[in-house]
Structure 1
């Protein structure tokens, strides 16, 4: 009971003490008025409304952007579908065109019998002269023609080569004796190339082509650059290259003279005293183009002709004939002129070897109507003559005995030569004939070249030429030909290059193309008559050279003499009474 009263009293005392009116607190806050509370609530409400408006605007903007993105995605999808459909249609059209082209090449052997009047490349009036209608003489007539005329005309080729090689050996040795090995070019041994060394020369006079490699004096060397090794290859530059003259110990982009201090009495042969990085005055004046480290073909021709002239004057007293240049625009087109009036022409061609391969850079070759003129005098023509000679030798080992491949080339070359004398030269050359034969040798089995199949292979060769002319396509046998034998050691840049079309000039020179095709079909028309006539009656220019005109005795580099149609430009050597023999000492 007492405990309960105590609790009641404690509650009453606590309530009295905590009453705000009896005992006010110092930090107690006065309740806010009702108006202030209402104002704060209104301000907060306005703030909330502004935030709501901002959120609504943001939501509307996001919705608009999303709608625009969806619209762009739909348009992009439609464009992709349209592009895909167009690409598919273009692919189908291309495949269709390729199928048509393949079918046309496989089933169309000659030109269309109907020639459109407005097409300048079509040649109306040649429909009846197609190769399909050509009738060659019988197999016996072809064999008789090859045996009596062609082989008889080339019977003295070995003696001609022997005489020319002996004389050239003596001439080059004299040239070496005149050169300073420290400053002049070093001339190496010659290399026989072309038809005389491939055993299919038929045209008269017999003509030897000899490559004469040369190298610079130490410490310089030649750095070849193949145009076909670059990508992309300029049009018409696949068969060319350039040759840079550099020091053996310097980088192609700099010289050691720039990294060391030269004394007052020392001079860099490449750059002079203060000049930029380029060949020095001696080599530049002699062989290089002005302001360039690359060899100039015109200066090389001048240097070579001057060197040959000096060498001939050194040994002229030993011989009883004159030596002269037959073509001044060719570096080594020479003729030996005997007192009897006979001539023996031959070509010495200065060349530069491409690295360690059998590929050579040639400054000049005999001009042909379809040959392209180099864009610059620093452009050197690539020659595969040594590779072609090796390929023919390698192929001959696998062919049957007495194979007819060279006979086919000889007959075709003989017909082309006779036609050129009748109607003048055309864009078709003997090199084109040899290229066509090389393609056929690679595609045909060895058993197909038996001697008994001479007529079939000759007809196939002429047919291949006709198709190539009509399509204006005859690809080089080595450049870009992946089927060429790998064992020949061709540079990899040559194998991977784009194929070179030898008939590309016909695309640009329509008058030359028309003349070439006219001449080719005229040759086909005349072929049966020429072969038959020459088989029965051997003309004077096809008969072997009489013994009286041949130089049998030799006391030095002597041998048989040949005649030439035109007089040469003399080098100043005296003529003597007995051609082909040395003067008596």
Structure 2
């Protein structure tokens, strides 16, 4: 009897002390890496399995004792009531403990651990109250600010775009003329993406972002491998993928040069003359990484920059300006330099189409939306830029005339740009602003975006962004979002994928999170004054397109 009482007390005390809902650990922190999280989850799973086995043994023992008691009653013997009662209480306590544990697991499946702030001291002075103290200017001031500072500054967007597109057409045509169709990559027509083609460009100087798809020569083709649809991929690698180079006839990616005899004047596309077992880094070798059939972003960058340089030398005599690379670590970052001293930057990014969809694998972006740096040169970022442009155009057809959705995005982008100039760059960028707007467009009615409601929708956009920052959760608009209309034609693998959290870096990088949050609240604090001042005076600090550019 004493031993049974001790067992009951031990089980109850252990459950009370160790249960996180009753005695939460104040110093609990988020593990620093995915391996630690997986290891702890496995240990917890093993403990639950052991508890389940113990419960099954207890139940089996109770059944056996019940049968023995029934047999004793039939034989007229007196059953040991005390011992049976204590064993019953011990079993009931164990069952209660397991029920609480299972309930706790179900309860924790609701909010993600990534959405919770690690410490209360990470929140800045406003105490986390939504937009406390922010008083946006009235509708008249806000409208006047938009007309003077944003609409007026983007008046030459169409002319800039037309000039850049004409020059890029000529440049790519020259590049194609230099390529060998039997051994070199084939370039397709460019695709305009980002703010310039979505009509919300704010930053100066105006910049065109152009995708240039390319394909391998026959008989080879690219086999993209999406990582966003694979549950075994770590969270920080979702939104990326690899591109395997293989034969279009379905043969294995291995080379056939070992099966056939090549002439002395013939060169294998996948292997060099010196080595028959690995792809080299030359253009003729389809730009694969060493000792693997996957396309290498560094090799693509070098090939593209060399090809652009050769193409420009062929047509430079026709233009009265110079062409130079803007950022050496970004393939296709170019800058047109006029004799007057003015310049015009633009980017040509080599991309690979993902199957027959509007998804494209991008070799490199200046600031990647997923918030991480690829750990391997064979990792390619998955870009939804074309889908984003299509969604904005499709949504605009259902909105009232003169809808304010792009105006909200332009004002928010303007405020973020000015704040970055004051306090330096942080973890927030224009892609996050656009993602927040896309979520609002999908959740709000079309009539809510009338021109007269600019101030209310701008307030909603900033509120949504603040809530996302406090929760450290901003889901990618397309990955795992089944609310996206099927008319968009999004691949099913992307729709059914796990949601991708763009704010996940804030969970692991506390200093970056605090800097970003402080800068965001500072932006909100400065917004009314900044809007009022720029409404009265528009500084002339930007260089635009020359009145007449020399174009043949």
What TM-score do you get using the length of structure 2 for normalisation?
A: 0.79
Q: Which residue pairs with 1:197 in the alignment?
A: 197
1:165 paired with 2:165, answer: yes
Do the aligned residues in 2 keep the contact of 1:242 with 1:294 (CA within 8 Å)? yes
Q: Write the mapping of 1:80-99 to structure 2, written as runs, cut at 5 A.
A: 84-94=95-105
Once the two structures are TM-superposed, the CA of residue 282 in structure 1 deviates from its matched residue by 5.5
Q: How far 1:86 moved relative to its partner?
A: 3.1
Q: Report the Cα distance in structure 1 between the residues aligned to 2:310 and 2:109, rounded to whole angstroms.
A: 61
Tell me which residue corresponds to 1:122.
Answer: 122
Task: Give the conservation status (yes or no) of the 8 Å contact 1:211–1:351.
Answer: yes
What CA deviation, in whole Å up to 9, does each residue of 1:490-541 have, x standing for no partner?
A: 1111111111100011111111111111110110011001111111212213
Q: Decide whether the 8 Å contact of 1:369 with 1:426 is kept in 2.
A: no
In structure 1, the residue matched to 2:217 is 217
SS in 1 for 2:392: helix
Contact 1:240 1:381 in 2 (8 A): yes
8 Å contact 2:369–2:432 — kept in the other structure?
Answer: no
* 1:343 matched residue in structure 2: 343
Of structures 1 and 2, the one scoring higher in RCO (CA 8 A, sep 6+) is 1
Superposed counterparts of 1:178-577, under 5 Å: 178-252=178-252, 254-255=254-255, 260-262=259-261, 268-270=268-270, 279=279, 285=285, 287-367=287-367, 371-541=371-541, 550-552=546-548, 559=549
Partners of 2:253 and 2:330 lie apart in 1 by 33
| Alignment coverage as a number of residue pairs | 470
Report if aligned partners of 2:326, 2:334 keep a CA contact under 8 Å in 1: yes
Question: 2 CA distance for matches of 1:70 and 1:532?
Answer: 77
The Cα shift of 1:415 comes to: 0.3
Q: Quickly say closer, same or farther: Cα 1:249–1:272, change in 2 above 3 A.
A: farther
Higher CA-based Rg: 1
Q: Structure 1: which 5+ residue stretches go unaligned?
A: 1-68, 112-117, 553-558, 560-579
1:227 is displaced (CA, Å) by 1.1
> Which consecutive unaligned segments of at least 5 residues does structure 2 have?
1-58, 67-86
Q: Deviations over 1:237-285 (max 9, x none)?
A: 1110100111112433555556x54366576533568977764785575
> Aligned ranges for residues 53-72 of structure 1 at < 5 Å?
none
Could you list the per-position Cα deviations for residues 400-419 of structure 1 after superposition, in whole angstroms to 9, with x for gaps in the alignment?
00000000000000000111
Q: Write the distance in 2 (CA, Å) between the matches of 1:146 and 1:415.
A: 12
Write out per-residue CA displacement over residues 332-355 of structure 1, whole angstroms, 9 at most, x where no aligned residue. 111000111101000110000001
For residues 189 and 373 of structure 1, what CA distance do their matches in structure 2 show? 28
In the aligned structure 1, how far is the partner of 2:500 from the partner of 2:327?
29
Distance 1:75 1:88, change over 3 A: farther
Compute the displacement of 1:232 (Å): 1.5
Once residues 75 and 184 of structure 1 are traced to their aligned partners in structure 2, the CA distance between those partners, rounded to angstroms, is: 81
Deviations 1:77-102 (A, max 9, x none): 97986664333222334556678x69
Check 1:331–1:121 CA distance in 2 against 1; reply closer, same or farther (3 A cut).
farther
1:142 corresponds to which residue? 142
Whole-Å Cα distance in 2 between the matches of residues 70 and 380 of structure 1? 56
In structure 2, relative to structure 1, the CA distance for the partners of 1:174 and 1:446 (3 Å cut) is same
Q: Counterpart of 2:352 in 1: which secondary structure?
A: strand
The equivalent residue for 1:16 is: none
Give the Cα separation in 2 of the matches to 1:230 and 1:276. Answer: 33
Q: Does the CA-based 8 Å contact 2:405-2:437 persist in structure 1?
A: yes
Aligned equivalents of 2:122, 2:515: Cα separation in 1: 12
Q: Which residue of 1 aligns with 2:47?
A: none
Instruction: Tell me the alpha carbon deviations over residues 362-420 of structure 1, each in whole angstroms, 9 at most, x when there is no partner.
Output: 00101369831112110000000000000000000000000000000000000001111
Q: CA deviation at 1:484?
A: 1.0
Matches within 5 A, 1:5-154: 74=64, 84-94=95-105, 119=119, 122-127=122-127, 130-154=130-154
Cα offset for 1:287?
Answer: 1.1
